[in-house]
Structures are given as structure tokens and as C-alpha cells.
Structure 1
Amino acid sequence: MKKKNIAWGLFFIFLAAVYLVISSTGMELGVGLPGIFMTVLFVWLFVEGIKDVNFYSIVFAIAFICILYRKPLGLEKFGLTSWTILGAALLLSIGLSMIFKDVRRKNWKTKTINWDEKMSTPNGEQCSGEHICCENNFGSAIRYINSEHFCDAQLENNFGSMSVYFDNAIIAGEAASVEVENNFGETNLYIPKEWKVQNELKRSFGAVEEIGRGEGSSVATLYLRGAANFGVIKIYYI
């Protein structure tokens, strides 16, 4: 963490020097000081996207930089509007995420669950086991995790709404992990308030919200990882 802070500190110092040089020489970039700070934000999202192999963060960071510097880059002569660039970025993000899905999940040690073979209830579907994998696309889904030896879960929600309940799960060992990828939708996680939760969720043009407060009285720890891309991940302590 200290090395990361030093790196970003040096980057901002370099940025300040560049801005002073540009201001003193009268060079025109087509953007003012707010635009430069926005550029820093998008560069940061781009770097974080590469590190996490998050194509939404990578592509949209480039798209917003193109919009910001559309005139200096000469994109206006091609008739590319902001909405055209964003629309292309959306389709490109979806395509790359689908093609390189295995690359993004290479460290996720889970097994695929066929939800059609699991127990169904009027309110949703239930699953038991140590390793859980669930994907929801363009719809609404409710999942109940019933496990006495829960180890990890892999959750992906695309353009839909997904709710996952962990109140009937018991963590095996000292820790368990939940990987969440939420793209243009809403993912709701219902977690026992007794669990210790280490929230490591990231956001790329999205939000992560915690509703309620956990007690953290359990011995085991649940690690939440993943990202909210143009959507929201809500954590409910029940």
C-alpha cells in the first residue's frame, strides 16, 4: 500500500509539472484543469481495469478520454458523437468480457452448478455444496445458499437483478470468499450479521452499498471481491 501511495504521489507531481509547462508555453490541449483531473481519473480506472482484467473499466476509460479529447484527436471530422462512442464501448466491453471470460476467472476455484437440477421454491432456487457458481442475464433471480461447508461462490449478474441469501450457509474453516461481477444491474447479498466481512469490492462507474451493520462475532471471515460496473452491489446484514 505504501509503494502504491508513493507511485500515485509521484504521478500527481508529474501531472502538476506538465500542467505548469503547458500553461507557461501556451500549448492548447482543448481541455482545462477540470479536464486534466478527469483524465487522471480515467487513467486510474484504465490501470485498475488492466490489473483486474475488467474490460468495462478498460474500454469505458478509453471511451471517456476519447470524448474528452475528441477535438484534439480529430474525431469530430468522423462524425463520432459522445453517444456513438459510448455505445461502441458498451458493445465492445460485452464482447471482450464474453470472449475472455476464462481469463478473468483463471484464479476462481469453483465448479459450475446446473441450477435447473436444484431444488426450486416459489420464491427462488436453492443450492448446497462447498463451491457455488451462479450467473444471471437480462432477468431477475433469487438464490438461496444452503451449505454446511461453504468455501466460495462465484456470482455474475448482467443487465438484471440477482439476490443471493447466505443465512443458511456455514463457513468451512477460517475463511470463505465470494467473487461478484455486476454489470449494468443490481446484485443484492444477504449476509448473516454475525459474520466477519472483509469488503474488497471495487467499483467502475458503479456503486457498492452496505445496508445495516455487521456484528463480526464469528471466528470465520467472508471476503467479498469483484466489481460493480455501471450498476450497484448492495450488502444487507441480516
Structure 2
Amino acid sequence: MKTRWFWGGFFILSAVILVTNALGIFEYRIGFFTLIMTIALVAALLGSLRELNMPGVVFSVAFMAIIYARPLHITALVPWTILGAAVLLSMGLGLLIHPRHRNWERRYRHHHFHEHWRGDGFEETNTATVDDANVNLDLSMANSIRYIHSNDLQTANIHVNMAGAKLYFDDVQLHNQQATFNIDVSLSGVELYVPKTWQLDCQLNNNLGHITETGHAESAGPAVTLIGSVSLGELTIIYI
């Protein structure tokens, strides 16, 4: 599914929900905040399904179950019961179904492709190379790949909104062996490829998002501090 079709369908669905709720077509009326949360959770659910991200799918459904417990007649299930079941279910499904980004990781280890591989073929992707000591990335409404090259990287400001992004920092030398990444991910999926020698200090705020790591860092190396937030999105850190 190409990004424009995904977000196009998402906005059309959001418009339908907004209008039908205002007309009172459904017996259960929802408030404005609940409506916004519903739209956001649907977006997270669709994005997680596209990437086969089982924790994202399960927790999106779990939060919607909490929000709509009364019309679903499941008020006997307290939120902690639903969230506890979601944790166990996501762990089980995560062991059985792997996210699609792992296919890319295996390919990347052998070839530095500029195409964006997905399970159903190649997808149109905005690809560029950035060479700067202070990197500023503002990506939205598209699939993007950025290859970062720097001999003296100091900071990276990464803002991704309603998009998918793959960011490669494998060809980077850090200023004084340290750097700060300011990351803002909203309704998006971001894959951050970093050298396995980097020691990441993750200080990100997780607002209904999902932060995971693939691979392991070595015991010593340059220090990188991650600050910012992940809101209703997914950040995957991949050591290469």
C-alpha cells in the first residue's frame, strides 16, 4: 500500500466518522476528545497492520476497547485487565509474527539499496543524502530514506509527522565522541540505523507510542543522547 493511498483513506475515514457522529447516526455519541483519540488510534492500528507490528496492533485495539467499554458492554473488564491481556497477547504474537522491517535489515547487511523494500514489492520513496555537522530533518506525508554522512556530527533534529522514515547513521563520526538527537515522532514509523558501537541514552517520552531495539550495542563506544517524544507512533532502533 503506497503512503498516499494509506493517508488518503485515513483522512476520508476520519471525515466520515466526524460527519456521522455530528448527525447522530449512531446511538452512542462521542465527545470531541474521544473522537480525536479514535482517529489517532485507527491511524496507529492501520500503520501497525501495514508493518506487521503486533504490539502496535494489539495496544491500538486495547485502548479503543477501554475508550468504548460501555457501548461494547465490557465494563466488567477494568483497564488494567485489558492492558495486562494486551501485554501478554503482544508478546505471544510478537514471537510468531515478525515486523517487516527485519526483511530490510537482512538485505541491508549485504547491499546498501536506495530502494525501499516492502513485503509486497518496491514502493516509491523519497531518498536523499545529508552531509552536515548539525542535521535537521523535517519529514511528513511520505516515505523517506536519509543517508547521513558527517565527520563531525554534533546534533540531529528529527521531526517525522504522518510519515515513514528510514535514517542511516552508519557513515558518521561524532564530535568529541558524543552527540544529541532531538526526536519528535508523531503518527509515524521511524527506523533509526546506528552503529553497534554507539551507546544510546534513551530519554524519550513515550506517549502511546512504541520504542524497540533490534540487535545489541557493544560494551563501549561514542555516547548519543536521545531526547524528545514518540506519540502514537513507532521508533525502531537497529544496530548495524
3-state SS in 2 of match to 1:198: strand
Give the whole-Å Cα distance in 1 for the aligned partners of 2:232 and 2:180: 23
Q: Relative to structure 1, is the Cα distance of residues 223 and 207 closer, same or farther in structure 2, using a 3 angstrom cutoff?
A: same
CA-CA distance at 1:164 after TM superposition: 0.6
Of residues 199, 202, 225, the one that matches 1:199 is 202
Q: Please report the RMSD computed on the Cα atoms of aligned residues, expressed in angstroms.
A: 2.5
Of residues 25, 29, 33, the one that matches 1:81 is 29
Does structure 2 retain, via aligned residues, the 8 Å contact 1:201–1:208? Answer: no
Give the residue type in structure 1 aligned to 2:35. G
Gaps of 5+ in 1: 1-78, 92-120
Task: Write out per-residue CA displacement over residues 198-223 of structure 1, whole angstroms, 9 at most, x where no aligned residue.
Answer: 111221011111111111422x2011
Give the whole-Å Cα distance in 2 for the aligned partners of 1:129 and 1:158: 22
Gaps of 5+ in 2: 1-26, 40-112, 116-126
Residues 1-238 of structure 1: pairs in structure 2 closer than 5 A: 81-82=29-30, 84-88=32-36, 122-123=114-115, 124-218=127-221, 220-238=222-240
The structure whose RCO (Cα within 8 Å, separation 6+) is larger is 2
Q: Relative to structure 1, is the Cα distance of residues 156 and 216 closer, same or farther in structure 2, using a 3 angstrom cutoff?
A: farther
- Dislocated runs of 4+, deviation >4 Å: 88-91
Per the normalisation by structure 2, the TM-score is: 0.50
3-state SS in 2 of match to 1:213: coil
Residue 73 (structure 2) aligns with: none
CA-CA distance at 1:83 after TM superposition: 6.4
User: What is the aligned length?
Assistant: 131
Give the whole-Å Cα distance in 1 for the aligned partners of 2:38 and 2:138: 19
Give the whole-Å Cα distance in 1 for the aligned partners of 2:230 and 2:144: 17
Task: Write out per-residue CA displacement over residues 18-40 of structure 1, whole angstroms, 9 at most, x where no aligned residue.
Answer: xxxxxxxxxxxxxxxxxxxxxxx
Per the normalisation by structure 1, the TM-score is: 0.50
3-state SS in 2 of match to 1:85: helix
3-state SS in 2 of match to 1:173: helix
Q: Relative to structure 1, is the Cα distance of residues 216 and 85 closer, same or farther in structure 2, using a 3 angstrom cutoff?
A: same
